[in-house]
Amino acid sequence: METSRRPDHQPAAAASGGPAQAPAEPVLAGRTALVTGAASGIGRACAQALAAAGAHVHVVDRAGEAAERLAKEIGGTPWVVDLSEPAVVDTLPADVDVVVNNAGLQHVAPVHEFPPDRFALIQRVMVETPFRVLRRTLPGMYERGWGRVVNISSVHGLRASPYKSAYVTAKHALEGLSKVVALEAAEHGVTSNCVCPGYVRTPLVENQIADQARTHGISEEEVVGRVMLERSAVKRLIEPADVAEAVLWLCGPRTGHITGSSLSMDGGWTAN
C-alpha cells in the first residue's frame, strides 16, 4: 500500500547498492528574496546564502558599487537606495517570498548628549523602514500562502547597554514589530522571526573596536575580550556566515511552526 507524504518530504537515502538519488532541489528554488543592507556584513552573507539555496535575491543597499558587484556575483538584482528616505521603499519590488530586514547603523553617546536628529535617523532606518517594507510585501505573501520574514535584531533587542539608546530602542521596537507580524500572518502561511546575534565581525563592529581601543588606551584584542564580550561565555566574534545560516534555516521547509520567536546567537550573553 502506498503511503502519502507531505510536499516538503525529503526522500530517504537509497539503500546500499540501489540507484543513486538525484540531488535534492535547493530549498528556495523558484523563490525571491529581498535583503536590506545587503552589500556588506550580515546582509551580504544572507544574500549569498539565500542565492545559494536557489532564491533570486534583490540586493538593497545605498553602497551602489558593492551592491552591484554582489548582485552580479550571485545572479541577483541590485537596488541602490538610501533607506533613510522612507518613500524609497515604494520603489522596491513588492512581489517577494522572503524579506530579511537587516539595514542598520550605530551611534554611541549618553542620552543627555545624544543628537536628536541621529536618534530619529536610526529609528527611520531600523524601525520605520522594516515596517514599510513589510507593509509593501506581506500582501503578496498572503496571496501566495507562503512567506518568510527574518528581522536581524540583536542581543540589544533583548538586553540594554549604556550609551546606545537609539540602537537599543530600535532593536526592541523591531522585536515588537516582528511579533505582531507573526500573529497577523500565521493564517496566511507566513512566519516572522528575529535573529539576535551578539557582536558580529562586520565593518560596523570592527570600527567600534578601533574606536574603543583608542578611547580606553588598550589593544583591540582587549576591547573584544574585556569590553565587547565581557558578558559572553564564548569569547570570540560571530562570523556573518553563521548568522546567515540561521536566517536560511528559518526560511526552510521545516520551520513553519517557528514564528514570533527570537533566536539568540549571543555566545551565552543572555544566559549570564
121 half-sphere exposure, CB direction, 13 A CA radius:
11
From the candidates 142, 163, 167, 199, give the one annotated as an active-site residue.
Answer: 167
Cβ atoms of 193 and 182 closer than 8 Å: yes
SS3 labels along 109-141: ECHHHCCHHHHHHHHHHHHHHHHHHHHHHHHHH
Rounded Cα gap, residues 130 and 174, in angstroms: 8
Cβ atoms of 220 and 213 closer than 8 Å: yes
Q: Among 38, 33, 71, 65, which residue's Cα sits nearest to residue 202?
A: 38
271 half-sphere exposure, CB direction, 13 A CA radius:
8
The conformation of residue 153, written as its DSSP 8-state character, comes to -
Those residues whose C-beta lies under 8 Å from the C-beta of residue 106, and which sit 6 or more positions away, are 122, 164, 167, 204, 208
Q: 105-115 b/e with 16+ CB inside 10 Å = b?
A: bbebeeeeebe
Rounded Cα gap, residues 23 and 173, in angstroms: 41
The verdict on whether 142 is a catalytic residue reads no
The catalytic site residues sit at: 167
